[in-house]
Amino acid sequence: MKFSLSAAAMAILGLYGLGSTGLMILVLFDVSADSLPHSGPSASVPRAEAAWPVVDSVDRGRAFYFTRAEYTGYGRRYQSWAVDYPKADIQFLIGLRRLTNIDAFEFENPVRLDDPELRRFPFLYALEVGFMALTEPEVHGLRNYLLAGGFLVIDDFWGTYQWANFQSQMERVLPEYEIVDIPMDHPIMSAFYQIEEILQVPNVGLGRMGVRTWEQDGYEPALRGIFDESGHLMVVINWNTDLGDAWEWAEDPTYPWRFSNFAYKLGVNMIIYSMSH
């Protein structure tokens, strides 16, 4: 299959410093952007204040914001929420806007879990949750968000120790619901791309070396979730994998293409699913 880019698309790649290797982001997939219906305008949604720098311009009323959860972490990992930030967020959005016609805000959008504005953003991304240590206001805020219909995606935590910490935090947030495996025939696996297997996506260092993909004792990747009593998927848990690094380093010719390919496909599917269910 051959791909071609307009002058405007090439200009976008240059604007974000991707250069010619940024073509990888746009040629990963063979689905036309025209195949996705337009989602329509959203209500006015101001950017939230964040502990890390954000762009000055506030773009209100877009259909989708890639919202990153700001949460409290343990000790020196108190800002573990900000790993890969903001490059992974922005670079994933470049791909999302090229692969679909979702009216997505182009920049990062970090929001605290105890911020009342959180409920304005139905999609929420959190990573490095093996070091999560939620305050009571954060527990309350995240619980209200999820029970009101919010959709949480978890990424980039590894092994049994980090799983135990994350599980204990979620038992504080949603004690009445259990974590279960998401079956391969679940609609999220075919929301936009058909996904037939779950790959273990390594961090950029391991991916470049090509020796192994696992960290700690996280030998096998897992896709798990939390469903409510009506079967509504509230939380998607990507364990023993690192989608964020695959987004962040997709333009790097030394990072294996197949991992970025998978990470973008699953990322797009999760967003399409969250917007349509």
Average pLDDT over every residue of 27-50: 32
pLDDT digits (tens, 9 = 90+) for 2-15: 323 333 333 333 33
Average pLDDT over every residue of 5-34: 36
Return the C-alpha torsion angle 38, 98, 66, 259, nearest 10: 130
Do the Cβ atoms of 126 and 49 come closer than 8 Å? Answer: no
What's the CATH code of the domain at 230? 3.40.50.12140
- Give residue 277's pLDDT: 85
Q: Is residue 47 part of a domain?
A: no
pLDDT at 41 over 60: no
Q: Is residue 55 part of a domain?
A: no
Q: Is residue 152 part of a domain?
A: yes
Q: Would you state the structure tokens that stand for residue 21, as one six-digit string?
A: 């290797």
- Give residue 76's pLDDT: 67
What predicted TM-score, i.e. pTM, was given to this entire model? 0.81
- Give residue 60's pLDDT: 66
- Give residue 263's pLDDT: 98
pLDDT digits (tens, 9 = 90+) for 185-230: 999 999 999 999 999 999 999 999 999 999 999 999 999 999 999 9
Coil, helix or strand at residue 157:
coil
Q: Is residue 80 part of a domain?
A: yes
Coil, helix or strand at residue 179:
strand
pLDDT digits (tens, 9 = 90+) for 116-141: 999 999 999 999 999 999 999 999 99
Q: Would you state the structure tokens that stand for residue 23, as one six-digit string?
A: 């073509």
Q: Is residue 168 part of a domain?
A: yes
CA dihedral over 267, 268, 273, 274, signed as positive or negative = positive
Q: List C-alpha distances in Å: 229 to 102, 124, 166, 179, 226.
A: 30, 21, 21, 13, 10
Residue 126's domain comprises: 61-276
Total tally of structural domains belonging to the chain: 1
- Give residue 227's pLDDT: 98
